[in-house]
Amino acid sequence: MVKGLVPTMGALHAGHASLITAAAKECDQVIVSIFVNPLQFNDREDLAKYPRTPERDQELALAAGATDVWFPTYEEIYPAEIKLIDAGPIGELYEGAARPGHFAGVLTVVQRLFDLVKPDRAYFGEKDFQQLFLIKKFTSGVEIVGLPTIRESDGLAMSSRNARLSPEDRSAATIIHRALKSGTLDLSSEPRFKKDYAVVIDEETFEVAKSDTKQKRALIAGTIGGVRLIDNMVIA
C-alpha cells in the first residue's frame, strides 16, 4: 500500500485540492495534515491572523480525494524539547532573510510529520519554491513530489493569505504575475506593492542565475496592504 501525505496549515483552497487529487491518483491512502506550525512564524501577529477554517478544510480535503484528514495537536507534534533543523546557508536567503528561523521551523515540522505518518510520498506546491527546494535537500526515505502553482483567473497565485487582501490590494497584487510573465520583474508600476526581492536564480543551486544557467526561475516577494505575498515562475 502506497501512503501519501499532503502537509498543510489549513485554510485550504484549490491549490491544496490539486495536491490532494494528485496524491489520490498515485497513492492508496492519502493523509492531509492540518497544523498551524508556530515554529515557522517569526511574527506573532502573523500567526494570530492566520485563517483557521477546520470544518471547511475537512470537507474540501475529503472531496478532493483524501482518505484521512488529521488535525494533530501541538503536543502530538512536539511532545518533548524541540530540536530545530538548521536549514543551512540557503535557508538564510530570500524568504529566510525576511523571516529569520522560518525554514528551520518548516523543516522541523515536516520531519516530525514524516516520523509520525511514515509516508512513501509527500506532496508540496511550487509556489513556495524555496521551501520545496529545502525539503527535497533535507529529506531522505520519502519521495517529495512538487506540483505547479495553481492560479486565479487573473494569474495571482492561490494562497491562504489572499483572503486578507482588500479589493483594491487584491487587484493591485496581480502586478506580481505580470512582472514574472514579462520576464522583466518590473514592479515599479504598482506603488501599493512593497518589494522585498525580485531575483532570477539557478533552480539547481539557488545561486543567482548567470547567462549560461540552464534552469532559471524568477522569485518575487513583498507586501501589499500589510500582507506578504510570494510567487515564482520558470524563465525560458
Domains of the chain and any CATH numbers: 3-147 (3.40.50.620), 160-230 (3.30.1300.10)
For residue range 157-179, list pLDDT tens digits in order: 999 999 999 999 999 999 999 99
Instruction: Determine which one of 13, 16, 102, 177 is catalytic.
Output: 16
For the segment 57-115, what is each residue's pLDDT rounded down to a tens digit? 999 999 999 999 999 999 999 999 999 999 999 999 999 999 999 999 999 999 999 99
102 a catalytic residue: no
Split at pLDDT 50, 70, 90, the class of 50 is confident
Q: How far apart are CA 192 and CA 149, in angstroms?
A: 24
Q: Residue type for 44, please?
A: R
Predicted local distance difference test score (pLDDT) of residue 45: 83
For 9-33, the pLDDT digits (tens) are 999 999 999 999 999 999 999 999 9
Distance CA 16, CA 31 (A): 12
Q: Is 114 in contact with 122 (CB distance < 8 Å)?
A: yes
Mean per-residue pLDDT, 29-43: 94
Q: Does the pLDDT value for residue 49 go beyond 90?
A: no
The rounded mean pLDDT for the chain is 96
Confidence at 130, pLDDT banded by 50, 70, 90: very high
Find out whether 34 and 5 touch, Cβ atoms under 8 Å.
no
Structure confidence at residue 145 (pLDDT): 98
pLDDT score for 236: 81
pTM: 0.95
Q: In this predicted structure, what is the pLDDT of residue 47?
A: 86
Q: Once rounded to an integer, what is the mean pLDDT over residues 130-156?
A: 97
pLDDT value of position 43 = 82
**Exposure b/e, 150-175, CB count within 10 A at least 16 = b:** bebeebbbbbbbbebbeeebbebbeb
